Amino acid sequence: MAGMIRKGERNLITDVAGLRVGQAEDAAARTGVTVLLADEPMMAASDVRGGAPGTRDVLGLDAVPLVDAVDAMVLSGGSAFGLDAPSGVQQYLKERERGYRIAPGLPPVPIVAGAILFDLANGGDKEWGEEPPYRALGKRAAANADRNFKLGNAGAGFGALAGAYKGGLGSVSCVSDDGTVGALVAVNSVGSPIMPGSDAFWAWPYEQDGEFGGRMPKKRAGLELPSDMKGAVRPAANTTIAIVATDVELTTLELRRIAIMATDGFARSLRPVHTPFDGDLVTVVSTARHKPSEPRPLTVLRLGHMAADCLARAIARGVYEAETLGDFRSYRDTFP
């Protein structure tokens, strides 16, 4: 049976037991990497809905994959250069003999999925010479992994922009009798997280205990595209990439359904979203610590509902926690 749904203790994705988050940044380049590490391989399924995604080893269902579990999942800045970040995490894991064991005697192969966002036009110094910084950032991020981690201008959210506001890294969690659900997201959207003519986040209906400032809307949004979305001047400078985690043991198909429902959290916290210029995706992972209660489709419905709410809250929180960086003003400096 479904129990009361409440905010988790840390209100971070690491409320899901067995998960840690590590981050590393290059302040001069205004970019960074966030990695979700698991004590044991995680089942994973993804839902890619943006028009301009950049991914590495992201496991959908189309491939009917042999390996349906990952050792880590990486969110990175750097656009396609950031697809190096999983290499650094792989190296970190290889040194600890973690990975998929193909056969006895062969070295294990760490399976590290990754998704990137575009932060190349944020004013940072991108003249990094022979090798982009992302492999090294990935390894440093993995070494930093902890159950506590910084939100806002951190990791993959360091140089992110959400509409006209400074974007950032967000995370929340919730708990019910079914289990724990957490979300982790780097918000770098074309669309705005704020209701037009207002200081309220689109995600306001789901807010818990003022976790993103506690403002409520007073009027309708109207039909126009918002004036605080990113302009046509940076048509590729976008993408919101997210991870949802749960401790409930589910099949890949069930995780895929939860990913589809989690995607609704994007729609409830950003407008417009899933545009041709966004590379939006969500990967749902499971640490498989608890069996789901029967009937399973109802458990999937409840976990999908929790996932959608968590993702909407995490997106707002990532923007709320961000700090002004160069020309890019934070939400809190815009609406003090």
Amino acid present at 298 = L
Q: Which is nearer to its own copies, 271 or 332 (CB)?
A: 271
- Our CA angle for 15, 21, 27, nearest 5°, is 140
Q: Which two tokens stand for residue 251?
A: 């099949």
Q: In terms of C-beta density within 10 A (0-12 exposed, 13-18 middle, 19 or more buried), how is residue 323 classed?
A: middle
Let me know how long the chain is: 336
Q: Which is nearer to its own copies, 62 or 127 (CB)?
A: 62
Amino acid present at 57 = D
Q: How far is the CB of 92 from its own copies (least distance, A)?
A: 35
Q: Which residues of 9-46 are buried (b: 16+ CB within 10 A; e: fewer)?
A: eebbbbbbebbbbbbbbbeebbbbbbbbbbeebbbbbb
Q: Which is nearer to its own copies, 98 or 268 (CB)?
A: 268
Binding site for its own copies (CB under 8 A): 2, 4-7, 49, 51, 174, 190, 195, 204-208, 216-217, 220-221, 223-225, 232, 235, 257, 260-261, 263-268, 271-277, 295, 297-298, 300-302, 304-306, 308-309
Q: How far is the CB of 263 from its own copies (least distance, A)?
A: 8
| Three-state DSSP string of 259-318 | HHHHHHHHHCCCECCCCCCCCCEEEEEEEEEECCCCCHHHHHHHHHHHHHHHHHHHHHHH
Q: How far is the CB of 202 from its own copies (least distance, A)?
A: 8
Q: How far is the CB of 247 from its own copies (least distance, A)?
A: 17
CA separation for the pair 328, 198 (Å, rounded): 19
Q: Which two tokens stand for residue 179?
A: 């289990």
Q: How far is the CB of 174 from its own copies (least distance, A)?
A: 6
Q: Which residue has the tokens 């995706």?
A: 281
Q: Which is nearer to its own copies, 68 or 178 (CB)?
A: 178
Q: How far is the CB of 195 from its own copies (least distance, A)?
A: 7
Q: Which is nearer to its own copies, 138 or 191 (CB)?
A: 191
Q: Which is nearer to its own copies, 140 or 317 (CB)?
A: 317
